[in-house]
Amino acid sequence: MTETTNTAEPLLDPSLFISEDVHRREVKLADGRKHTFYIREQDAGVLRAFFAGQASDDSDKQADSMARLIAKAICDPEGKQALSLVDAKRLKFAVQIALTKAISEVHSYQGKESLPAEEAESGSDTSSL
């Protein structure tokens, strides 16, 4: 006798989790040209450290947190680290800002607009409230 196992649908949409994918982004820099960068998504701890550093009154901590985020997130097309922390600290400020913006965009939620439970069951796009 063969027993079948019904597997439940995942409770959370996979798009809610950090992807292992390498994201390619074209970033316009101060020279007016678009440059290709590859970005890996980072876990919440890395992002929290960045935001904590940015909120610090210490300008060295602010600068260090931006360079750390860039060094961790910028990679080659295979996902290997492309910049050392020393190199990331040496980038011009305008380049750091542009890269941080691109990193932020990669970390924006890009999945479904609503969770399955929030989708209208009636098929209507209008709210009943």
The model's pLDDT over 13-50, given as tens digits with 9 standing for 90+, comes to 877 888 899 999 999 998 999 999 999 999 999 999 99
Does residue 123 fall inside a structural domain?
Answer: no
pTM: 0.74
Torsion of CA 44, 49, 55, 59, to 10 degrees: -150
Average pLDDT (46-56) is 94
Between CA 48 and CA 93 the distance in angstroms is 21
What per-residue confidence (pLDDT) applies to 114? Answer: 47
Please report whether residue 115 resides in a domain. no
CATH of the domain at 38: 3.30.2220.20
Domain assignment present for residue 41? The answer is yes
Residue at 50 is within a domain: yes
> Model confidence over 60-116: pLDDT tens digits?
999 899 999 999 999 999 999 999 999 999 999 999 999 999 999 998 866 655 444
Q: Is residue 60 included in any domain, yes or no?
A: yes
